[in-house]
Structure 1
């Protein structure tokens, strides 16, 4: 069974002028979003699955018994929700058991650097897990083969290539339509970090068809996930743990700039986007005027 350590930055302080969504939400709404994301992790990967069968027992009676099911992709996930030392969070309002996560209080000079506190926490547990991941508190994963796909991708293309998911949000009434809302960036901007000349497309067979993975013009996904071998390479680059706002803000820099500077970064071709995706939970495209980037 895979052992996975995930670190999630969580900061809440009401601020209508905030550049990120967590400042716009009411505390109850933000708590519901974080709860949904934590619950999805647990239900998708860690909750025991069973099936029922009629069984004849020695006493001559037939009973319904439960047996383990769907164990092939079960994972042991340790989730650390990283906060500042103060009370700028909504953890007391979460609608999930407290033992589903661990609160980690990070000492910071600037609360905007909390994402880098997450990376430093992951580094403290180097060598203890099979996968290390960082994800924003509105990233909702519901694909039970998520980590199997990561392992397959690395086995096909090597540890130098990292696969990031596409983010989508739901819209419509009811919300049954999807939009991949992270707009592509101009190459004269994103090209400062992404080398589109080196291995721009990777292809491999999967399930009777050929999948294509491209170096995206918006690599940001609000998360990343690295195998133990990849995490060793990540940790070897000490700059990855130094707070910076070089790429948009510290939030995007921790999640994405570190990836771009350490690995070749890929996402699935948009025609096959759902192969590897996450939901940007609580975000509606109608909340963002004029196609503003979802952050």
Structure 2
């Protein structure tokens, strides 16, 4: 499988904000981005090897290694890539210097990067710089879903935060219902329930009121559909803000977005690297 993933990364210590990209402390943002990159290579990159105890050597292993390309889109000096020289020198990613309308529009630049190469990859994907994939079968599950239900549906993962000390909820699904009016005119499948079998268990999907996941992943056929339509290049920022719009609005205009129902929500997840949402509500603490 061939993957091209574009990541929007921005950091400005002079931003004076509470958001991680504007915090005076770069460490959480740097740690998150390093985790994002390393985890992608751990799950999907190569090479792989097996310890041969008898010969006291390492045997090469072909275990489904992916042709993985990661492009990180940045703005001038407003980034932390200089702290990731070890990964860049190892070929873990390619940096792309961009000139977005504003830093919040950086995600739209990722779309242009993906459009350049989409015909060469089985999946073209966009991620915010704190979205971590932890499932080695992530893209196999996406492929299974579209083989069952067709490419007009885009399966989005449930975004979660996880407990660090077991004093809180083990998994916190952070994209609950929020401002349904923002996505109402694009949601045509609210009454539709899709189900398929996975490893002997029924997995069901529905259309959420909150279609945002901080990422999206298009198979080759979907990418061709997406980049032939005008929506991807419009830079429409009307879905909450440019940040959310880059991750969600243009895909939502092109496809009917579905997510795993929460009673089997773990089927497809990505992890939000911070604990911002867990800290918002008392109800997120131990029940």
Tell me what 2:171 maps to: 178
Rounded Cα–Cα distance in structure 2 between residues aligned with 1:264 and 1:238: 16
Q: 123-132 or 282-291, which moves further after superposition?
A: 282-291
Aligned-partner SS, 2:72: strand
* CA distance, structure 1, for counterparts of residue 24 and residue 198 of structure 2: 40
Q: Which 4+ stretches in 1 moved above 4 angstroms?
A: none
Separation (CA, whole Å) in 1 of partners of 2:275 and 2:235: 26
2:263 partner SS: helix
- Cα RMSD for the two superposed structures: 2.2
Paired position in structure 1 for 2:31: 32
- Deviations for 1:153-180, whole angstroms, at most 9, x for unmatched residues? 1111111111110111123525782211
Q: Aligned residue for 1:88?
A: 78
The DSSP-based 3-state class of the residue aligned with 1:278 is strand
* Count, aligned residues: 280
How far apart are the structure 2 equivalents of 1:105 and 1:38? 18
Give the C-alpha shift of residue 90 in structure 1.
0.8
The verdict on how the C-alpha distance between 1:96 and 1:42 changes in structure 2, with shifts beyond 3 A counting, is farther
Closer/same/farther in 2, CA of residues 285 and 251 from structure 1, 3 Å limit:
closer
- Check 1:43–1:172 CA distance in 2 against 1; reply closer, same or farther (3 A cut): closer
Q: 8 Å contact 2:231–2:254 — kept in the other structure?
A: no
Indicate if the aligned counterparts of 2:7 and 2:110 stay in contact, CA closer than 8 A. Answer: yes
SS in 1 for 2:119: coil
Measure the CA separation in 2 of the matches of 1:128 and 1:97: 24
Q: Give the equivalent residue in structure 1 for 2:187.
A: 194
Once the two structures are overlaid, the 10-residue window that deviates more, 7-16 or 188-197, is 188-197
User: In the alignment, does 2:236 pair up with 1:244?
Assistant: yes
Tell me the SS of whatever aligns to 1:245.
Answer: coil
Cα deviation code 1:132-155 (max 9, x no counterpart): 000000011111111111111111
- TM-score in terms of structure 2 length: 0.90
Greater Rg over alpha carbons, structure: 1
CA offset at residue 32 of structure 1? Answer: 1.1
Segments of 5+ residues of structure 1 without an aligned counterpart are 56-62
5+ residue gaps, structure 2, are none
TM-score, normalised via structure 1 length: 0.87
Q: d(CA) in 1 for partners of 2:33 and 2:26?
A: 11
Q: Which of the numbers 215, 235, 245 marks the counterpart of 1:223?
A: 215
290 and 210 in structure 1: CA distance in 2 versus 1, 3 angstrom threshold: same
State yes or no: 1:9 paired with 2:20.
Answer: no
